[in-house]
Amino acid sequence: MADNEALTPRVFIVRHGETEWAKAGRQTGKTDLDLTPLGVKQVQTTASVFVGTAKLLDPAKLAHIFVSPRKRAQQTLQGLLGGELAGAGVEVTTTEDVAEWDYGDYEGMVVSEIRARRRKNGLDDEGRVWNVWRDGCEGGETKEEATERLDKVVSAIRDIQRPSMKGGRPADVLVVAHGVILRGFVMRWLGYPLEMPLNMMLAPGAVGILSYKNNNIEEPAFNVGMAIPIMD
C-alpha cells in the first residue's frame, strides 16, 4: 500500500457472530442472546486470519475500542482479541451508542411479519413497504434517534484520530456491534442520511474498514478493498 495510506488511521467495524435469531431472520435489538457454536467459530476464524501482530488488525495499533453492551457483541470482542486485549492497554468503551437498532414492537419478528402488521395498522400499503432506515419502529427507535447516537460515536472517533492523521501515535479504532447499526454507522461516517439508498451487506463475524482520503480528517471514506500487510 502507499505510504500515506499506511499512515492514515483506520476504523475497523466488526459484526458479531451468528445468533439463533439472526439465523432465523428475526429482528434482534435489546434481546440478549449468546453466539451459536457456529457464531463462535466465525469470530475465531476472523481473528486467526485478520487479527494479530503485523496483521490487518494489529492490537498494538489500536487506540480505542467501542463495543455494544449486548452479550453477542461482548463475546465477539473477546473472541477477536482474547488475552491480547488486557495486554494491549487499549481503552474500551461499552456503550448503547453502538447497540443494535431498538426494534420496539417489532422485536423478534421477521420482515414479512413487520410489513403485514404495518399494513394492518394502516401505516403502509402495497405500494409502500417498511424500511427501517426511513420508518424506524413502532414503540422503538426512529431514524433521528439512531442518527443522533451514531453521530456521537463518529465525532468521538474523529477526536481520537485527528492528532494522528500523518502517523505518530497509533490511532486505529475498533467498533464491535451489530449488522443494522453498523451499516448505519457507515452511512453517518460518510455524512449520508440513513435513508439514502445504498445497499450494503455485512456477514456475521465480518470486518469492514473505514478511513480517510488524502490523510484528511475532512475526507472520510470507506475502503472498497484493503491490501493485506506484507510481512517483513
Average pLDDT over residues 165-177: 89
Q: What is the pLDDT of residue 232?
A: 57
Which residue, chain included where needed, has cell 439512531? 146
Least confident of 10-24, 80-94, 175-189: 80-94
Q: What is the pLDDT of residue 88?
A: 67
Average pLDDT over residues 11-21: 97
Q: Is 192 annotated as a binding residue?
A: no
Determine whether 178 is an active site residue. Answer: no
| Reported confidence tier of residue 7, pLDDT bands at 50, 70, 90 | confident
Closest to 153 (Cα-Cα) out of 217, 99, 106, 104: 99
List 64, 100, 141, 178, catalytic entry? 100
Torsion sign across C-alpha atoms 60, 61, 64, 65: negative
Candidates 3.40.50.1240, 3.40.50.720, 3.40.710.10, 1.10.3720.10; CATH matching 3-104+141-222: 3.40.50.1240
Q: Is 28 annotated as a binding residue?
A: yes
Average pLDDT over residues 124-153: 94
Q: Is 20 annotated as a binding residue?
A: no
Q: Is 103 annotated as a binding residue?
A: yes
Enumerate the H helices of 89-142 as residue ranges: 111-120, 132-135
Determine whether 100 is an active site residue. Answer: yes
Alpha carbon of 151 to those of 61, 170, 196: distances in Å?
A: 24, 23, 16
Q: What is the pLDDT of residue 209?
A: 95
Distance separating alpha carbons of residues 72 and 95, to the nearest angstrom: 14
Closest to 155 (Cα-Cα) out of 217, 207, 99: 217
Decide: pTM greater than 0.85: yes
List 16, 18, 141, 178, catalytic entry? 16
Q: What is the pLDDT of residue 229?
A: 65
Looking at the chain, the whole-number percentage of residues with pLDDT higher than 70 is 92
Residue type, 170: P
pLDDT of 167 strictly over 80: no
Q: What average pLDDT does the structure give for the chain?
A: 91
- Radius of gyration (C-alpha) of the chain in whole angstroms: 18
| Reported confidence tier of residue 231, pLDDT bands at 50, 70, 90 | low
The answer to whether the CB of 17 falls within 8 A of the CB of 72 is yes
Q: What is the pLDDT of residue 143?
A: 97
Q: Is 188 annotated as a binding residue?
A: no
Distance separating alpha carbons of residues 225 and 212, to the nearest angstrom: 14
| Reported confidence tier of residue 227, pLDDT bands at 50, 70, 90 | low
Distance separating alpha carbons of residues 188 and 208, to the nearest angstrom: 15
pLDDT of 203 strictly over 90: yes
* DSSP3 helix / strand / coil % (the chain, rounded to 5): 45, 15, 45
Q: What is the pLDDT of residue 219?
A: 95
| Reported confidence tier of residue 116, pLDDT bands at 50, 70, 90 | very high
Strands (E), the chain: 11-15, 62-67, 91-94, 172-177, 207-212, 220-222
Which residue, chain included where needed, has cell 505518530? 168
Instruction: Break the chain into its structural domains and give their ranges.
Output: 3-104+141-222
Alpha carbon of 171 to those of 154, 218, 221, 231: distances in Å?
A: 14, 16, 16, 21
Which residue, chain included where needed, has cell 442472546? 33
| Reported confidence tier of residue 3, pLDDT bands at 50, 70, 90 | very low
Per-residue pLDDT tens over the stretch 69-88 = 999 999 999 999 987 676 66
